[in-house]
């Protein structure tokens, strides 16, 4: 998805993320998505604000809570739904699922089921950009929980050391499953990154303008050869950690907290600003919403129509070349 400073477009993109997740949740509920989904709802301003500061040829890495990042970077809803439903028409031909969607043509180097695992990949890509004198930028998204994974801290160090064009984006939603960020990350998120020598900022992640502004500054610096930086986006996930049929309940936050969070809603906030600034025509919001709904309904239908992978293909793509006597031991479909 292309770079844009247009608040109307931000609104459209945030709404696409939110309504996508509402459908994903319904598909989990109905049993069409088998397994768990981590909803991005509440955090839309982060993915949209950051990705709107990126060019199509910039790259991102994503997380277990990745739908938002992928959509914001231009991922096609229909191929995403198809992946969630495990169809051949999905991004990974039904082999990746919610936590591993990737689209290299759009610089989406993949969601990742392992916390923190995307950051070293982003560093490697950024190193390649520098080596080839390309002015592209790499953006790893990760949660606050990842701030305690060794590999993320190793990535900070490498990025600073090699002055890589990386913008680290931490989505601090205050919680990792049930662990409080405040408790688990003594010294705070942004100061920790600063300790590595990363220019580090903390912004209101419920404010798409603030996120976009911080990202634009950081991306510009990285593109110009000024090295890596770090943005903490303070946000809230509205849903429980993940949803799955029959999952155990695990909401540890109070209803009062959740209510206060919803009053900071990033989409309503931007909509309010657009109202006040007369940023859109009468009825334009409804038009956009209906458009998004139509697009997503069609996407779900596309996904449903897809074919499921054949068990006989279980070994395809395991290696660059497969040959008849390559071991497929212990199993006959």
Partner 1 sequence: MAEMTMIEAIRSALRLEMERDERVIVMGEDVGQLGGVFRATDGLRQFFGPSRVVDTPLAESVIAGSALGLALTGLVPVIEIQFLGFAQNAYHQICQQLARSRYRTRGAQPAQITVRAPFGGNVRTPEFHSDSMESQFAQNTGLKIVMPASAPDAKGLLLQSIRDPDPVLFLEPLRGYRMISGEVPDGDYTVPFGALRTVREGSDVTLVAWSGSVPVAAEAAELLDAKGVSAHVVDLRTLVPLDEAGLVAALERTGRCVVVHEAPATAGFGAEVVALLQEQAFYSLEAPLRRVAAPDSHYPLPGVERDFVPGAGLVVRAALETLEA
Three-class SS state of 251: coil
Q: Cβ of residue 214: shortest distance to partner 1, in angstroms?
A: 25
Q: Cβ of residue 313: shortest distance to ligand TPP, in angstroms?
A: 27
Closer to partner 1 by Cβ: residue 220 or 308: 308
Report which of 210, 170, 173 is spatially closest to residue 189, judged by C-alpha positions.
170
When binding is defined by CB under 6 A, the residue of 26, 34, 161, 177 that contacts ligand TPP is 177
By CB under 6 A, is residue 127 in contact with ligand TPP? no
Q: Which of the listed partners (partner 1, ligand TPP, none) does 85 bind, with a CB threshold of 5 to 8 Å by partner kind?
A: partner 1
Count of residues for the chain? 333
Closer to ligand TPP by Cβ: residue 114 or 314: 114
Q: Cβ of residue 106: shortest distance to partner 1, in angstroms?
A: 22
CB contact at 8 A, 101 and 91:
yes
Q: Give the residue at shortest CB distance from ligand TPP.
A: 143
Report which of 178, 183, 184 is spatially closest to residue 250, judged by C-alpha positions.
178
Rounded to whole angstroms, how far apart are CA atoms 231 and 202? 6
Instruction: Work out the number of other CB atoms within 10 angstroms of the CB of residue 295.
Output: 16
Q: Cβ of residue 63: shortest distance to ligand TPP, in angstroms?
A: 6
Closer to ligand TPP by Cβ: residue 113 or 188: 113
Closer to ligand TPP by Cβ: residue 103 or 232: 232
Rounded to whole angstroms, how far apart are CA atoms 142 and 331? 38
Q: Cβ of residue 115: shortest distance to ligand TPP, in angstroms?
A: 4
Alpha helices in 30-149 (DSSP H): 44-51, 67-72, 77-84, 118-131
What are the φ and ψ backbone dihedral angles of 330, each rounded to 5 degrees? 85, 10
In the complex, which residues of this chain contact partner 1 (CB under 8 A)? Answer: 34-36, 85-86, 94-100, 113-115, 145-146, 148-151, 176-179, 183-185, 244-245, 248, 250, 252, 308-309, 311, 314-315, 318, 327-333
CA 174 to chain centre: 17
In this chain, which stretch among 79-87, 142-150, 206-214, 224-232 interacts with ligand TPP, using CB under 6 A? 142-150
Q: Which of the listed partners (partner 1, ligand TPP, none) does 211 bind, with a CB threshold of 5 to 8 Å by partner kind?
A: none
Report which of 71, 153, 68, 146 is spatially closest to residue 113, judged by C-alpha positions.
146
DSSP code of 54?
S
Question: CA 303, 142, 10, 206 torsion: positive or negative?
Answer: positive
Q: Cβ of residue 331: shortest distance to partner 1, in angstroms?
A: 4
């Amino acid at each position: 998805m292309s770079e844009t400073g247009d608040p109307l477009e931000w609104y459209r993109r945030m709404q696409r993320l939110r309504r996508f997740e509402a459908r994903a949740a319904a598909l989990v509920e109905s049993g069409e998505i088998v397994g768990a989904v981590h909803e991005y709802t509440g955090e839309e301003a982060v993915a949209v604000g950051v990705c709107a500061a990126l060019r199509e040829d910039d790259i991102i890495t994503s997380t277990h809570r990745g739908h938002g990042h992928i959509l914001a970077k231009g991922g096609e809803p229909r191929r995403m739904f198809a992946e969630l439903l495990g169809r051949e028409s999905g991004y990974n031909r039904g082999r990746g699922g919610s936590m591993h969607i990737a689209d290299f043509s759009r610089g989406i180097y993949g969601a990742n089921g392992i916390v923190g695992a995307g950051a070293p990949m982003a560093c490697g890509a950024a190193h390649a950009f520098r080596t080839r004198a390309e002015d592209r930028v790499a953006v790893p998204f990760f949660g606050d929980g990842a701030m305690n994974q060794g590999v993320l801290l190793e990535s900070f160090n490498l990025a600073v050391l090699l002055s890589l064009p990386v913008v680290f984006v931490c989505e601090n939603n205050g919680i990792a499953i049930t662990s409080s960020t405040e408790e688990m990350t003594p010294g705070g998120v942004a100061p920790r990154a600063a300790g590595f020598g990363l220019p580090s900022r903390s912004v209101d992640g419920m404010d798409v303008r603030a996120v976009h502004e911080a990202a634009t500054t950081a991306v510009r610096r990285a593109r110009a050869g000024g090295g890596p930086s770090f943005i903490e986006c303070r946000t809230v996930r509205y849903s429980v950690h993940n949803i799955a049929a029959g999952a155990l309940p695990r909401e540890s936050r109070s209803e009062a907290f959740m209510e206060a969070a919803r009053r900071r809603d990033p989409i309503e906030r931007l909509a309010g600003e657009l109202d006040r600034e007369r940023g859109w025509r009468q009825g334009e919001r409804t038009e956009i919403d209906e458009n998004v709904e139509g697009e997503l309904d069609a996407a779900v239908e596309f996904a449903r129509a897809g074919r499921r992978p054949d068990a006989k293909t279980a070994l395809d793509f395991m290696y660059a070349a497969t040959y008849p006597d390559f071991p497929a031991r212990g199993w006959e479909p």
